Structures are given as C-alpha cells and as structure tokens.
C-alpha cells in the first residue's frame, strides 16, 4: 500500500531529526575538546552559537518540498542539513539557497521545472498535515501555497512577530533576494509584509554574502516597542550578526532625554545641517602659527604651514591631528639633528682651531699630518640613519611632545561643539533668523533631532577606534562603536526618517548597501516629504532603485474597504493595497459622549478580548487621551497613539475618537495607520 503523504513526510522528518541529533553530538564533542584550550575561546563561542541555532531550527526543520519534473525531490527547511560531504546534495535545503528559490516563485504559468510544491506543517517532531499544489498548469492564482498562507494569516497573534519562511510570496521573495549593491526602497501599503521582507532579506544576505556577515547588518526600526515585537524573528532564522536600534539609540552612551516641538524637529532634520556642521567643524581647525616644543631642555620653534597642508584635506579633525603629529615628530627630529650638527660643527671649528694651533706648535718639532685628520672626523657630529631613527622613536613616544601638540591642536568633544553652536543663534546663519532663535531657545539635554546632528559632528571630529575584546562577536563590537561600518543596513518605517537621519544611515554604510522599507502614505514625522524621491534625494540623489509590495496580508478586505477615503484625505494618490483575505467580521462603530468614553473603551476591549481569546487586542487613540484610556483599559492591552502603533498589529483593534486622531499633525496618515492594525476585527468609538 502507498504510504500517505503525511506518513511519507513523517518518515523524512524522523530521518532529518536523527541526522540533526548526530550533528549536534559532533558539535558538543568539538566544544568539549576545544574548551580545554584557552586560545580556542573564539571557536568555542562560534560552536556554541551554531549549536543554539540548530536547536532553534528543530521546530520547522522542514516546511516544504519541491518535486521537479525530472523526478528530483528536494526538502526545504530553516537550515541546511548535510548528510555526507560538501558536494553531495543536502538532505534538507536551506530556504535561502538558490535551489530553494522555486519554492517561492514557481507558478503554474512559470513552473520553473517543478511538478509540485508541498507545504509540510509540523509541530516539533510531528508532521501535522501537508498541502499540495500542482504546478503543471492547474489552478491559476497569484498566491504561492494559498492554503498554507491563509492558514498562517488566520492564526491568533501572540504579540511577537514570527517568521514567514514557509509562505513567502513571489513579490516578497523577489525583494528578499534582490541585488544588494545599492539603495533599494520598497514601498508597500499597510500589512503588505514590508517588515517580513526586510527581516528575511537580512537572513538571506547574511547567508549569501560572507562579507556582509563579517561586518554585521544594522536593522533600524521606529521604536523600542517595535524592536521588541520583531526581536524573535532573526534569531529564529539563525542570525546573530545583527544590531537592531532606533535612530535615537544609535550613539553609544547618548540618551534622548526630552521631547521637542514638531517645528524644531523639522528644522533640525533638514539636510542643510550637514554642510553647515562641516563648515563649523572646519572653522575649529587650527590655523598656521608656530608650534613651540621643548626637547631635552632645549626649546624648538617649528613652522606648521606645510604639516597643516599635508594633514587637513580629506580627514576628520582628530584624524588630521594624528597625521599632523607625525609631521611634527619628523620636523622636531630634523630640528634636533640640525641644531646638534650646528653645535658640533662650531665645536669642531673650535676644536680644529685648537688642534691646528697644537699642530703648528708640534709641526715645528715633527710632521703629524695624518693623525690630525683622524681626530677631526671623530668630532664631526653627523648622526647615522639608525641614530636618527632612534631619536625619532624617542620623540614620538614622548608625552611632553604629545602634550605640546594637543595644546596647540586641542581635542574636541562632539557634544560640547554641538551644544555651543546650537545655543548661539548668531552662528546659525544658514537658518532664517526666526528659526535660529527657536533652535537656540531649546532647553538643555538631547532631543531626537539632535542625535543625527551629534552623529555628524562626531563623524567630522573623528572617533577613537574601539579595541576588539577577546572572543567578542562582531555585532557586540559594532554596537559599542559609533563609527562602525556595516555590511548592510535595513531601515523599517523608512518614511519617517529626516534628511539628517538618512545621512546617519549612509554614514554607517558608505557603500550604500541599504534596504529601506516603508509606506510614504503612513508618514507621520515632522518633515514635509510626500514622495520617496523627495525623502532620499539629499542622500542618494537619483541613485536608488524602487520596488513595490501590492498585497495586504494583515488587514482583512472588510477593513481595507474603509481606508480609501482616508488615504485620499491624507493627500495620497495611491490606492490602498489589495487585501488577500476576508475575515468575515464586519467593522463596527459606536458613538458615545466624551464623559462615557473610558467606560465605553473598557467594555469594548473586554468584549474583544473575550471574542479573540488567546489572541491580542490593542487600542489606538489621540495622544491627548492616552493617559485616561490606559487607566481604564485592562493592563495587558496597549493604548497607543497612531505613531506608536506603527508597524504593530493585533487580532482586534479598537480605534478611539478617529476624528481626534485625524486632527493631529499629519492626522489622516495617522488614522490610516490606526485603521489598518487588525488581522480580524476593527471597532471604532466615535465621540457624539
């Protein structure tokens, strides 16, 4: 009798798990052996990491299978599982391997040599069911693995994003595997899987390009809450060479300590600050004047024109000083040698006078010519090359010389430089007077828009390199170092970035291997951009490519149908993305008086929690109402403003006072965000 598909896949899973267990035992053995040697610390950490990754990948070890027209069968999973040598066909193919691509892109119209795609649903070591999709010209759909996809989308939300490797769609896969040599901007409406794509792209790039994994990837998200929401995805994909941050937390040791007005935030976000700060830091560079240094009790006055000319161009303030210092060492060595030669020469002259006097006296008695010439060479005073080298080394190592250079060319602190500039409206000549006065009147402490300015100043001044710690992973080192150059940067909710924040991104990846995902229609930040071209022009010019995601996976069609008028009022010319599914639950609306609002919200939330037991509920409201609503709602239900809700989702969302949200700055965009957070049910409470 033919085994059923489930039995067949169960057998395969058993074999793959057995092989994984064997690999784990081998790694444990290697860790045991290597741990005996202190010098093997880095290797041991690497092996432990690998061990952890394999253990994590055991859930979902296989999730798919491709049967090719030529009879070749391939299983696809979270990580590759090898059976024999490197060249042999692996038992399980890593989802990121080129041969696995057809799993995400083959369609009946373009079967790519495949006869069938099978989704295998497992729980731990058990195969639950399989879902087969013939690719031989059967049913026409633009979805890949529709059954498995809809099952995944219909599941209750846990409050943590999960991986989607089993059900990635073709348009998503195209972006995940796109060329990474320049900036790629991905536009997609709410719920189109932008975050999914961004994170799976990170995993793909780290797997495919060793240079990117050696330099780590930076993931920038809009808030700490959002980073927490996505925190499980990359480790689940087996990736650790990743640093995640918000633009506010990118500078080690710097904390945003105050709010600011939208007006000031907009002013400080403008790209013109880059050249203004550049000019300001250049004005702090030393100008040509003599430098006096003491060496072995003697004073030397050195001209600095040439050394300045050789060190300043193209270098940061502190890096230029380092080059200048080397020139000073050379200049001082030359000066010491010259002075010594001059002294010796005058001594020699005096000595020769004495000798010639003596010679004259002795000559009267006998001829002593050759002996006199020998004495003259002994006192000539010229230093050999080795002696000059040794003198230069002593000068370079001298704290006294270093102090003299530092006094002449002082170290600067980025915070102090920026603070002094911002406090003085008369120096902000690149802004209209009214705006300069507004900026100068800001209280002390750093606000969000100061961070990119601080980063720019720190970059212009130049950092001190951070030393590598024994056995340290690349991500830990990158996190400690402000000026770390990443192999790739991913920006989520990229529509929010100001021009100065974009500069901060480019500084972290000058090669511009950058993927930015966002929805220009959800922009809420204080900048005025309404198109990607405007948003990135000051950083990339026209050198960037665009991609688009068009299908909404999160929000059901019943809810998406409500969003078109809101999007229009937001001034967008785009149409909302097409919802892939319907939840069968009609959105509803209740009208209440303002004084009854907290109670109405509390009751509505409780009803939703009951209806979506085991899932999640969230409330989105105008910022001014959050305090009273947070006090009224159950503690496990977040009450957030529209900007705070960005990127998040719940099974049911309650939007409170939508008119109040629309009245906030960029409020229609905010309302568009608020309305698109649910995966199943949307309720609105309107003020009567």
Ligand X SMILES: Nc1ncnc2c1ncn2[C@@H]1O[C@H](COP(=O)(O)OP(=O)(O)OP(=O)(O)O)[C@@H](O)[C@H]1O
Residues annotated within the binding site are 188-195
Half-sphere exposure of 173 (CA within 13 A, CB side): 20
- Closest C-alpha to 672, from 189, 187, 185, 230: 189
To ligand X, the closest distance from the beta carbon of 549 in angstroms equals 7
Across-strand partners of 517? 186
CB–CB of 238/79 below 8 Å?
A: yes
For residue 643, the minimal CB distance to ligand X (Å) is: 12
Collapse the DSSP code of 76 into the 3-class scheme (helix H, G, I; strand E, B; otherwise coil) and give the result. Answer: strand
Contacts of 149 by beta carbon, 8 Å cutoff, 6+ apart? 143, 167, 169, 553, 580
- Mind giving me the DSSP string for 130-192? EEEEE-SS-S--SSSSHHHHHHHHHSPP-SS----TTT--HHHHHHHTS--SS-EEEEE-TTS
Distance of closest approach, residue 83 Cβ to ligand X, in angstroms:
29
Taking the complex as a whole, the smallest distance from the CB of residue 582 to ligand X amounts, in Å, to 15
Nearer to ligand X, 149 or 514 (CB): 149
Buried b vs exposed e over 145-176: b needs ≥16 C-beta within 10 Å?
bbbbbebbbeeebeeebebbbbbbbebbbebb
Q: In the complex with ligand X, which residue's Cβ is closer, 149 or 293?
A: 149
Instruction: Please report, for residues 8, 56, 62, 356, the alpha-carbon distance to residue 15 in angstroms, rounded to integers and kept in the order given.
Output: 11, 18, 11, 102
Q: How far is the CB of 547 from ligand X (least distance, A)?
A: 13
The residue nearest ligand X at its CB is 193
Kindly tell me which of 168 and 453 has the beta carbon lying closer to ligand X.
168
Rounded least distance, CB 9 to ligand X, Å: 20
Closest to ligand X by CB, 17 vs 178, is 178
**Nearest alpha carbon to residue 411 among 320, 314, 482, 310:** 320
Select 223 or 274, whichever has its Cβ closest to ligand X. Answer: 223
d(Cα 92, Cα 76) in Å, to the nearest integer? Answer: 5
Q: CB of 674: closest distance to ligand X in angstroms?
A: 11
Torsion sign across C-alpha atoms 70, 72, 73, 76: negative
Cα–Cα distance for residue pair 89/118, rounded to 1 Å:
19
Of residues 23 and 562, the one with the C-beta less far from ligand X: 562
CB 63 within 8 A of CB 48: no
Our separate counts of H helices and E strands in the chain read: 29, 20
CB of 203 to ligand X, least distance (A): 14
Q: Which is nearer to ligand X, 248 or 521 (CB)?
A: 521
Residues forming the site for ligand X (CB under 6 A): 149, 152-153, 161, 164, 167-169, 172, 188, 190-196, 519, 553-554, 647, 649, 676
Question: Looking at beta carbons only, is 199 or 422 nearer to ligand X?
Answer: 199
DSSP code, position 40: G
Residues annotated within the binding site for ATP are: 188-195
């Amino acid at each position: 009798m033919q085994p059923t598909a489930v039995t067949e896949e169960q057998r395969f899973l058993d074999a793959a798990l057995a092989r994984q267990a064997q690999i784990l035992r081998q790694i444990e053995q290697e860790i045991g052996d290597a741990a005996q040697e202190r010098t093997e610390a880095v290797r041991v950490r690497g092996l432990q990491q690998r061990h952890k990754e394999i253990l994590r990948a055991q859930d979902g070890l296989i999730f798919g299978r491709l049967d090719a027209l030529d009879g070749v069968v391939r299983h696809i999973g979270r990580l590759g599982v090898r059976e024999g040598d490197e060249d042999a066909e692996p038992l399980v193919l890593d989802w990121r391997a080129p041969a696995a691509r057809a799993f995400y892109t083959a369609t009946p119209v373009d079967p790519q040599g495949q006869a069938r795609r099978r989704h295998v649903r497992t729980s731990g070591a058990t195969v639950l069911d399989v879902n087969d999709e013939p690719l031989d010209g059967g049913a026409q759909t633009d979805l890949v693995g529709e059954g498995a996809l809809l099952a995944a989308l219909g599941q209750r939300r846990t409050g943590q994003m999960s991986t989607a490797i089993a059900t990635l769609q073709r348009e998503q896969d195209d972006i995940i595997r796109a060329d990474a040599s320049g900036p790629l901007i991905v536009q997609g409406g709410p719920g189109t899987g932008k975050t999914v794509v961004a994170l799976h792209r990170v995993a793909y790039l780290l797997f495919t390009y060793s240079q990117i994994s050696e330099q780590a990837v930076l993931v920038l998200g809009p808030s700490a809450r959002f980073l927490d929401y996505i925190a499980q995805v990359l480790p689940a994909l087996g990736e650790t060479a990743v640093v995640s941050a918000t633009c506010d937390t990118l500078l080690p040791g710097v904390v945003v300590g105050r709010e600011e007005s939208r007006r000031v935030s907009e002013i400080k976000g403008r790209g013109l600050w880059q050249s203004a700060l550049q000019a300001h830091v250049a004005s702090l560079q030393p100008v040509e004047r003599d430098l006096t240094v003491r060496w072995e009790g003697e004073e030397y006055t050195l001209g600095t024109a040439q050394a300045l000319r050789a060190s300043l161009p193209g270098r940061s303030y502190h890096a230029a000083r380092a080059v200048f210092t080397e020139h000073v060492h050379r200049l001082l060595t030359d000066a010491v040698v010259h002075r010594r030669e001059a002294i010796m020469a005058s001594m020699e002259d005096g000595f020769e006078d004495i000798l010639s006097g003596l010679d004259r006296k002795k000559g009267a008695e006998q001829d002593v010519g050759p002996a006199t010439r020998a004495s003259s060479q002994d006192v000539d005073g010229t230093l050999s090359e080795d002696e000059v080298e040794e003198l230069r080394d002593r000068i370079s190592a001298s704290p006294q010389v270093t102090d003299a250079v530092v006094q002449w060319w002082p170290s600067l602190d980025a915070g102090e430089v920026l603070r002094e500039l911002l406090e003085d409206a008369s120096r902000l000549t690149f802004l209209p007077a009214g705006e300069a006065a507004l900026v100068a009147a800001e209280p002390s402490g750093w606000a969000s828009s100061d961070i990119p300015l601080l980063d720019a100043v720190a970059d212009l001044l130049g950092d001190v390199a951070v030393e590598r710690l024994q056995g340290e992973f690349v991500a830990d080192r990158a996190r400690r170092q402000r000026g770390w150059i990443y192999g790739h940067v991913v920006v989520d909710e990229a529509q929010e970035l100001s021009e100065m924040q974009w500069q901060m991104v480019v500084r972290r990846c000058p090669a511009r291997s950058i993927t930015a995902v966002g929805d220009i229609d959800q922009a809420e930040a204080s900048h005025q951009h309404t198109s990607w071209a405007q948003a990135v022009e000051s950083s990339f010019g026209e050198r960037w490519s665009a991609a688009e995601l068009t299908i909404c996976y999160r929000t059901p069609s019943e809810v998406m149908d409500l969003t078109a008028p809101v999007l229009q009022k937001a001034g967008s010319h785009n149409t909302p993305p097409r919802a892939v599914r319907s939840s069968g639950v009609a959105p509803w609306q209740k009208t209440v008086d303002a004084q009854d609002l907290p109670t109405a919200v509390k009751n509505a939330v409780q009803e939703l929690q009951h209806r979506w037991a085991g899932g999640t509920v969230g409330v989105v409201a105008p910022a001014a109402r959050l305090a009273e609503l947070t006090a009224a709602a159950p503690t496990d239900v977040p009450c957030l403003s529209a900007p705070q809700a960005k990127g998040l989702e719940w099974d049911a969302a309650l939007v409170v006072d939508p008119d109040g949200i629309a009245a906030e700055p960029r409020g229609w965009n905010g309302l568009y965000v608020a309305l698109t957070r649910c995966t199943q049910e949307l309720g609105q409470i309107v003020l009567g």
